[in-house]
Chain A
Amino acid sequence: MSDAAQVLVNSLITGSIYLLAGTGLTLTYGLSRFPNFAFAEFLTFGAYIGYLTMQYPTGCLAIALVTAALATGLLSLAAYFTVFRPLINRRAALIPLMIASIGLGYVIRYSLGECWSWAALSYQQVWQTFTIGDTHITLLWLYLILAATATSIVLHLLFVFTRIGKAIRATAANPELAQASGINTERVTLFVWFVGGALAGVAGVFRAADTQLYPMLGWDILLPVFASVVLGGIGSFYGLLIAAAILGIAENFGIVVLQALGLSTEYRMAVAFLVLILVLIFRPRGLGR
């Protein structure tokens, strides 16, 4: 049964990435009411900033995470200021907003491809591996689980106890009413876009450190991240906590099933698609709403 333990560990790792990335996406999605497809490229951007930091002799994962979070948070703010806010102010409909986000994604992705070429890079760091029974777990994975847990706790405390957290919930629920009650909704929106971008940067660094780094990094996990967000209920952080776990487990157990059936493990993306379709048929509002 040690196989099952390893699959569970893998699920936890996958789920943690989806949780970190999905939190950033679901918060901005819930507040600004459109899916930002350029979010994939925010992940990739964070990963490359992390790579840049790790190139220096003093570079370590912690510094890479902090710089990637800050830089990607700023990128997200810049995207909001230059592209999305002007469009929203012009009362652009949902589909033009999505198209603009795809366009922005192309600008970022191909700029990264230009700077670092399209070949895969790696952080070139070997992580210490612990073995319990037959189950392997690396130090990086422990950091990732720690980061995901810490983020969840901090966000929970933020939403329940702080003024800004309550303002975010109020603005997401009803922007007009929130504004009428004296909440500076613009400032709330800026805060959420920054935090969303920062979380994307963190998720991107972990993904790149665990696998490889290439301009399609973010795009390649966008589908399961979107599936988690929709399953959790758009804008719902608590729903996402469960949804990311479900996606992580479904994908990793899906791989086992695929192997048993003699099918290509490339189909694991299809698992996320299946979850997405099932959610839309049976519970389109998601778990958390």
Chain B
Amino acid sequence: MMLSELEAKELLAGYGIPVNEGRAACSAIEASEAARHIGFPAVVKVLSEKIVHKSDLGLVALNLCNPSDVGRNAERILAKAHTIDPDAKVVVESMAPQGTEVIVGARRDPQFGPTILFGLGGIFVEVFKDVSIRVAPVDRAMAMDMIDDVKGYAILKGARGKKGVDIEALADIIVNTSKLMMEQDRVMELDMNPVMAYENGAMAVDARALVRD
């Protein structure tokens, strides 16, 4: 079964992986209430096991600056999502600042057991499939190697006057993901896509986990 974004993030947070704060809401009022609590700017996304491609379906609203914007967008998203999944809710999150998008994932391979994947997000992973993979457990040195291995490493290090990202923070996420996979037998697949990498720190902005029933 697929864990919801909130459940997946709770699992990650338990292993020291930074995630942005989020709350589930079933209505526009609940959503704006949640946003008031979390702070602005906020994000509203659909929360449903059945809906995978959230942005493609227009079920994500970014950079909402006041409660009424949050309420309006929550209402729109809920209405649209209910045509696909009547149980769909929304999640209200603090808007993570733009950073360099990377992906960290894990999968339980039938022959080798837990494997960890790292790559640059966006077109790097979609088009170029520029990822590096290791069989867990992955220690710190191996995590640094994994990051170094992707062809887009230059972008992470900082190129053409752009500052680099916090590679140590990414290595921490990789090591903690490895730890999670080694300890949580029921997790079959895990996706953190994207993880926002900043000059200081990194954070999983979206997450999905497939767990054994």
Q: Do A and B come from one complex?
A: no
Binding site for B on A (CB under 8 A): none
